[in-house]
Structure 1
Amino acid sequence: MNGKSNLGLIVGFVLLWNSGFIGAEYGLPYTGPFTLLFYRYIALASLLCIYLLLAKQLQWTGWKNVWPQLLNGALAHGVWLGCVLIAIDYGVPAGIVALVVALQPLATGALSGLVTGESTPWNRWLGLFIGFAGVAIPVLFRVDFDNAEEVFAWLIPLGSVVAITIATLFQRRLNLEKDYEPMHGGLSLFYQSIATVFAVALPAIFLERLEVQWNLAFILSMSWLIMAVSLGAYSLMWVLIHRIDATRVAALFYLGPPVTMVMAWIAFGDEVEAVDLIGLSLVMLGVILTYMKYPFRRRQTTD
């Protein structure tokens, strides 16, 4: 029964988390990327504030504990999602955006030695190289290099990769410090949401003037992004972390590109080309290579 329960949670998490790409694409026709994030995270921070007050968990744990959450929020939510939404707004298919973002675990695996002080094994660099090749194939197949704006649009998701990689490596560095006290999920997300609001406020106000076409489609899109993705998927992630080890939960993010491609095909009719499948296969191979623990380890012989 427990196995079936975990399977249901896993399926629910994967579907809800990756539906964020689709929900955002439904909402973008009615507002700009930064304005969408601005209102989304104001609403999310407000809901979390009410919940934490009722649960008597809203607290200031000291600047030393709070500022890392603010930085991670600005990077992992503000910059990461900002680049994702800008790319989608420019017309880059959601499935391809998800494929590019899938480079993050490869980059993190290859660069983690900078944080831990350990040498980076050859398989991680090879995995990163193969992963980049997997992303490059479908992108090169689609992009028109004579159109500078289009080339720029296809490069934008790389900003997401850089931001989330920096945030992940920063968090790993914190976890290595003996006096670091991790903040519980709800309070952490609250501070990260506040940081995201401030991170996107200026471009939302001065570039997009907070303009929104308030209609049912936009309200439903925002409601889904807040309730199903930010709260629902995030809550399921923490439940899964308590039930199964964190490494296995992290591996679920690798399902993002194929799941998003299928969702985008169902929702918007985005075609999945043969080159997309080739690229997807290479990215998955890169992930496997990056996270092999003992690649081609020699047998130890005894005399």
Structure 2
Amino acid sequence: MNVMHTRLSLLANGLLLLAMVISWSSGFIGYRYVADQGSVYLATLWRFILAAVVLLPFAWPGLRALRGRDLVHHGLLGLFAIGGYIGPIAASIQLGVAPGTASLIANLLPLTIVVLGGSVPGQRTRGWQWLGLALCLSGMLVASAASVEWDATDLWVYSLPLLAVLSLAAATLYQKALPGASMSALTALFIQVCAVIPVFAVLARLEGEIRPPMRTGFAVGVVWLVAFATLGGYGFYWLCLQRFSIQRISGALFLTPPVTMIWAWLQFGDPLASSAMVGVALTLVGLPLLGMSHVGDHKNHRASCQPQGDQ
């Protein structure tokens, strides 16, 4: 019975991580739809406005019992994890960085989370996890290298995707170290989405327009971004943060670039280099190693599960 329960638990964990990766990849596919319909900032603004409208009925019960510090906590998460990640990447592409190059820099996110994770108690990378990290990183670089195009643009512009990586990594570690009060994932996501709407409203207005174009392609792209990239991507991401170690989440995120490339090949007929498949293989080999727990962690976990006396 215990063996069956363990297998079901492993299957559920694997499906949750897979859902996070697919949802995270869907954002790139969604922006492919809206790229020719309007500005990235305009699409992102209406993505979050629509997401807030969809989330409000589900988030309302939790909002009524909300405390001020919880609002600040999740507002900061939204600004750094959503606004601070999407905004700089979109700006870098607008200023001349090739999407493939921006994507490669953004794909340093898992490595950044693992390296900075040592500052969070219980999240330090140890032993075989370093080998898994090296394999996953190698797989990501091999899979992404074919899509990189270094266009001529100001050097400082290339720092924007790196800024996006640092912003989301900081939000990830902040949430892991200080998870805040317990609330539903939909309530938390609603607060985070509302926090970034003014940011993208300003950015879209600076580009000239905040009214959505009356085009089917734009509407389809925005709905796609809401359903899969926002509700799915960030929803599954925060759920995984509650359930898994930073190392295991980062290992799964290394699969995002090759999954996106394969998806674009299937849906749009984009060329798929053989190096992408080699990269996927390397990442799949490293993923179990990166998800391994240290022996000391097991001992600490068992100790923490023992009954405690009155305090």
- Name the TM-score, length of structure 1 as normaliser: 0.72
Contact 1:92 1:154 in 2 (8 A): no
Aligned counterpart, 1:298: none
Q: Structure 1 residues 14 and 124 mapped into 2: Cα distance closer, same or farther (>3 Å)?
A: closer
| 1:94-132 superposed Cα distances (whole Å, 9 cap, x missing partner) | 9x82x6544323322222121228765366666656655
Q: Following TM superposition, by how much is the alpha carbon of 1:60 offset from its aligned partner in structure 2, in angstroms?
A: 5.5
Pairing of 1:218-237 with structure 2 (within 5 A): 218-231=218-231
Question: Do the aligned partners of residues 57 and 284 (structure 1) sit closer, same or farther apart at CA in structure 2, a change above 3 Å counting?
Answer: same
Q: Supply the distance in 1 between the matched residues of 2:183 and 2:13 (Cα, whole angstroms).
A: 27
Q: What's 1:104 paired with?
A: 109
User: Kindly tell me: are residues 15 and 113 of structure 1, through their superposed partners in 2, closer, same or farther at Cα, counting changes over 3 Å?
Assistant: closer
Quick check: 1:40–1:222 contact (8 Å CA) kept in 2? yes
Note closer, same or farther for the CA distance 1:211–1:52 as it changes in structure 2 (3 Å cut).
closer
Task: Give the letter aligned to residue 225 of structure 2.
Answer: L
| Structure 1 partner of 2:165 | 161
Give the gaps of 5 or more residues in structure 2.
296-311
1:114 aligns with 2:119: yes
Residue 41 (structure 2) pairs with residue 37 (structure 1):
no
Unmatched 5+ stretches in structure 1 = 296-303
Moved more, 149-158 or 14-23: 149-158
Matched with 2:78 is: 73
Q: 1:144 to 1:152 in 2, by over 3 A?
A: farther
Percent of pairs with identical residues: 27
Q: Compute the RMSD of aligned alpha carbons.
A: 4.2
* Corresponding residue of 2:298: none
What amino acid is the match of 1:182?
Answer: S
Contact 1:107 1:128 (C-alpha < 8 Å) held by counterparts: no
> Measured at CA, do residues 13 and 171 of structure 1 come closer, stay the same or move farther in structure 2, by a change above 3 Å?
closer
Is this contact kept in 2: 1:137–1:275, CA < 8 A?
A: yes
Q: 1:18–1:259: 8 Å Cα contact kept in structure 2? A: yes
Judged with a 3 Å threshold, the aligned counterparts in structure 2 of structure 1 residues 284 and 207 are, in CA distance, closer, same or farther, namely farther
Q: For 1:209-224, what aligned pairs fall within 5 Å after superposition?
A: 209-210=209-210, 212-224=212-224
Does the 8 Å CA contact 2:140/2:258 hold for their aligned counterparts? no
Q: Please say if residues 265 and 271 of structure 1, whose CA atoms lie closer than 8 Å, have aligned partners that are also in contact.
A: yes
Q: How does 1:1-303 map to 2 (within 5 A)?
A: 15-53=22-60, 56-59=61-64, 61-86=66-91, 91-93=98-100, 97=103, 100-116=105-121, 121=126, 134-136=139-141, 143=148, 145=150, 147-149=151-153, 156-175=160-179, 180-210=180-210, 212-231=212-231, 246=244, 250=249, 253-282=253-282, 287-294=287-294
- Count residues in correspondence: 284
Provide Cα deviations, 1:10-54, integer angstroms capped at 9, x if missing partner.
Answer: 57665444322101111121121222111111111122223434x
Residues 88 and 134 from structure 1, CA distance in 2 versus in 1: closer, same or farther, beyond 3 angstroms?
farther
Quick check: 2:252–2:287 contact (8 Å CA) kept in 1? no
TM-score (ref. length: structure 2): 0.71
Q: Is the 8 A contact 1:139 1:154 kept in 2?
A: no
Partner Cα distance (1:269, 1:154) in 2: 28
Q: Distance in 2 between matches of 1:188 and 1:103?
A: 26
Distance 1:130 1:231, change over 3 A: closer
**Alpha-carbon distance between aligned partners in 1 of 2:147 and 2:235, rounded to the nearest angstrom:** 37
